[in-house]
A and B are shown apart, each in its own frame.
Chain A
Amino acid sequence: MIDEQMAVFIGSGLRLAVPIIFAATGEMLSERAGVLNLSLDGMMLMSAFTAALASWATGSPLIGVAAGVLVATAVAGAQAVLSVTLRANQLVVGIGFNILALGSTTFLYREIFGPLSRDPIPGFAQLNLPWLAHIPVIGPALANQTGLAYVSILMVVVTWLILKYTSFGLAVRAVGEDPRAADKAGISVARTRYLGVLYAGILAGLGGAFMSVADSNTFTENMTKGAGYLAITAVIFGGWNPWYTLAACLLFGFATALQFLAPALQLDVPVALLLLLPYLLALVAIAGFVGKSRQPSALTIPFERGG
């Protein structure tokens, strides 16, 4: 009985972590380049909705994911224009996009699906990888995931490789740390930051699409419930390192999953308090563990060429 509960808990913890892993991994690369996308939540929400819509309309969850990623990338493009080219306050712009995303998805959802629709939409099936299922305790939870969940881990590896072994990764790190020096070394600061933000958009899109198409097979109003903010906090908590960021995302995922485990274990903890747990953890994390020194020096600071 307890084992079964644990498997459910681990499974749901992983499922809840996946969208945050996607978003946080992309966001980490963008922040390494110096751009903070507070609009991450908006990108995810837009993607979740678009993916649901496209999957529902075409019957193909794959097309749904593609459409979701496309829309999130478009939002990222707009964020990049504002934060890189127009040198706007990145945080304020991000909040603007989040309000816009909440408004437009809510509006379109009610217009298209009707206010109380609970129709399931075509989604991905779980892969059920037999060789994983044999691992004790965590095996079944690991095996019963959709393909996208595995992609999220793959993206962490890819991002790590990019940062460590490619010229683009080196440029990203330089631009986030000392854009003036990078510029004088012949790197285009604007181009690097645009690519960083777009990368964050693509991954946030995957994360958002996962929520609607792979995880719940439906869309609900404001379904991200601040997952984008959690992803940003995970990046801070993870010290802008891909692996620590991944660990932070898993922590947040499991913290969220506790609300399913607690009643089963007959723990007398109010659900409301479990709801705030990930955010409380995040706050404690960024307040307690993060030294300023590890932050990319030019984070949120627009670059303007000067003498």
Chain B
Amino acid sequence: MALLELSGLTKRFGAFTALDDISLLIERGEVHCLLGENGAGKSTLCNLVFGVHRPDAGTMTLGGEPFDPRGPAEALQRGVVMVHQHFSLVPNMTVAENLMLGRASAVLKPQDIIVRMEQLAAEYGLEIDPEARIDELSVGERQRVEIIKCLLGDPQLLVLDEPTAVLQPDEIDALLAICRQVALRGKSVILVTHKLGEISRVADRTTVLRQGRIIETVAMEGADIRSLVRSMVGRDVQSAGSVLAAAVDIEGKTPAKSSSDVGPTSPGEAVLQISDLVYRDPHGVPRLDGLSLTVGTGEIVGIAGVEGNGQTELGLILAGLAAPSGGAIVVGGTQVTGCTPQEITDAGVGIVPEDRHAVACIKELSVAENLYLGAIGKFSRFGLLDKSARRKAAETMMRDFDVRASSPDVSMASLSGGNQQKAVLARELSLDPLVFLLAAQPTRGLDVGAIEAVYNRIRAARDDGLGVLLISSELEELMAVSDRIAVIYRGKLVGELAAGSFSREAIGAMMSGHAHV
């Protein structure tokens, strides 16, 4: 008998149907992967199983009994545990406190937890200091805490939602091994991912979701990876080219660059020169530790690295949102070290920031207002807004950059992630002067079509002579788009690869600090 049975699950958010009539069996002792693009409904499905959301229609059974959790608390009681895409640990508490949360008796008993942690360390090799504060741990260690938290109560079903996005290659290996061990003990694992490489390594069966529906469920033995990709994207693989490879990360199949993908052989003069950049966070921890980098005109330089090695801080400093503790940044001959965002913009820098919602746009404002957020005074007379002139200009820009919205007056929040990102690109690439573009994690959370549009824009900017710095945690993306890849580790660049010599293994080794080139 299957452990978990879903029948006819439907979930709507307003008029948007996130899941449509999902029926699925999860067997005992299997690792079951859910594959799909962003927005296909994978996370929503997990959230229904974990009780974060409740279905609008359909039923679930767990171990043969009806299962309808009204919240995570009830799911936990029935032995369903989940590791979320975003960590759900309280950052200013210790590991032990986080593990006691929600399960201890009236009075806290840290000793019991420590004993149980030792058992798990012996059983799965999951070791961690119970007294360490969460915000002092690395991303990989935090994930270990999440998994320990899940395994503490001896669960029946372990749900992992995109757990590998933030991990180093060797940490991914360890995680997949744990999934297998858990399954061997007769428990079930649901693993959400959009990376085919992981699926072929760990899954017993895979279910492909697209636009809220199940396309197919296949046993992985002898399965055809290409056909899974076709099911996932809904069109033929060839047409999407390197974009697709980057988006789904087919391991070992690094795309050969077509001629249009490659930039000019010798980049021009330097547009961005970073020398000995140092940044210490408010707690005095060095996040950037003597980083030096040059980007020339007409080239795309990729920055590879495991998240949390200083990429975010580099992006914030280049955007003028954080002041460096040391070092210098020169753009096209102008010193911009520690300058205000406006001065940096005036020097010819366009920024596509990592956190679109917090930094790039104001979702409550209209598309037109967002497109001219940095130039509010451009359409005004005597301080009063000329809204019709702004609307006209915005319409033109939206047409040029294929930003799809019913009108420039609708709120930014009503746009899909892809169209929001296209709007941000439109604004930043329309700056005048413009000599350099920073694109930080520019395709995060976008679907394949939008990813393709973003890549094309970045390449076109390069071809127009801009220097582009592409920060990304997706290796395949960097290899598909960059002319040169530098690897960041603990706040400095530890190696660099020129176009033509990109290799996953070499970059992966440098990312985990193991080798220098």
Contact = CB atoms under 8 A, between A and B. Distances in A.
Q: Do A and B come from one complex?
A: yes
Interface of A: 165-171, 173-174, 177-178, 180-188, 293, 305-307
A307 B47 contact: yes
7 contacts: A166-B108, A169-B108, A177-B93, A182-B102, A184-B84, A186-B77, A188-B71
Contacts of A307: 43-44, 47, 52-53
B100 interface: yes
Interface in B44-73: 44, 47, 50, 52-53, 71-73
Nearest to A306: B52
B52 A186 contact: no
Given A181-B89, A186-B71, 14 more contacts: A165-B107, A167-B104, A167-B105, A167-B106, A167-B108, A170-B97, A170-B100, A170-B104, A177-B90, A177-B91, A178-B89, A181-B98, A184-B88, A307-B47
Contacts of A182: 90, 101-102
B103 interface: yes
B52 A305 contact: yes
A188 B105 CA distance: 15
B149 interface: yes
Nearest to B89: A181
B318 interface: no
Nearest to A169: B108
A56 to B, nearest CB: 40
| Interface range for B | 20 to 34
Contacts of A174: 90, 93, 101
A89 to B, nearest CB: 16
A180 to B, nearest CB: 6
Contacts of A188: 71, 73
B76 interface: yes
B108 A186 contact: no
Contact of B102 (A165, A166, A171): A171
Given A177-B91, A184-B82, A187-B101, A168 B47 contact: no
A133 B511 CA distance: 69
A185 B149 contact: yes
A171 B92 CA distance: 13
Given A165-B108, A307-B44, A186 B103 contact: yes
B383 interface: no
Tell which of A173, A181, A293 has the most Cβ of chain B within 10 Å.
A181
Interface string B147-160: 00100000000000
Contact of B101 (A170, A180, A305, A306): A170
Contacts of B93: 170, 173-174, 177
Given A186-B72, A293-B282, A307-B44, A180 B102 contact: no
B91 A171 contact: no
Nearest to B100: A170
A185 B93 CA distance: 14
A293 B50 CA distance: 32
Nearest to A173: B93
- Best-surrounded residue of A166, A185, A187, A305 (most CB of chain B within 10 A): A185
Nearest to A168: B106
A171 B91 CA distance: 14
Contact of A185 (B72, B77, B106): B72
A167 B112 CA distance: 14
A174 B383 CA distance: 47
B320 to A, nearest CB: 21
Q: Which 8 A-B pairs have CB atoms at the shortest separation, nearest pair first?
A: A186-B102, A185-B102, A186-B73, A181-B88, A184-B88, A186-B76, A185-B101, A178-B90
B107 A184 contact: no
Contacts of A185: 72, 76, 88, 98, 101-103, 149
Contacts of B73: 186-188
Nearest to A184: B88
A181 B101 CA distance: 10
A166 B106 CA distance: 6
A173 B108 CA distance: 13
Contacts of B92: 177
A184 B282 CA distance: 29
Given A183-B71, A185-B88, A188-B73, A167 B100 contact: yes
Contacts of A181: 87-90, 98, 101
A169 B50 CA distance: 25
A286 B408 CA distance: 43
* Max count, chain A CB within 10 A of own CB: residue among B82, B90, B100: B90
A301 to B, nearest CB: 15
A178 B134 CA distance: 12
Nearest to A178: B90
Contacts of A165: 107-108
B48 to A, nearest CB: 10
Nearest to A164: B108
Nearest to B97: A170
A305 B72 CA distance: 10
A162 to B, nearest CB: 10
A178 B101 CA distance: 12
A183 B89 contact: no
A170 B90 CA distance: 11
A165 B106 CA distance: 9
A140 B87 CA distance: 55
Contacts of A169: 108
A306 B93 CA distance: 23
Nearest to A167: B104
B464 to A, nearest CB: 39
Contact of A184 (B72, B91, B100, B103): B72
Contacts of B82: 184
A307 B53 CA distance: 8
Contact of B88 (A170, A180, A306): A180
Contacts of A293: 282
Contacts of B84: 184
Contacts of A168: 106
A173 B90 CA distance: 9
Contacts of B52: 183-184, 305-307
Nearest to A176: B90
Nearest to B99: A185
Contacts of B89: 178, 181
A167 B107 contact: yes
A36 B90 CA distance: 20
Given A182-B90, A184-B72, A307-B47, A170 B103 contact: no
A13 B393 CA distance: 66
Contacts of A166: 106-108
- Residue in A168, A174, A187 whose Cβ sees the most chain B Cβ within 10 Å: A174
A306 B86 CA distance: 12
Nearest to A191: B73
A174 B134 CA distance: 13
Contacts of B72: 183-186
A177 B98 CA distance: 12
A307 B50 CA distance: 10
A177 B84 CA distance: 18
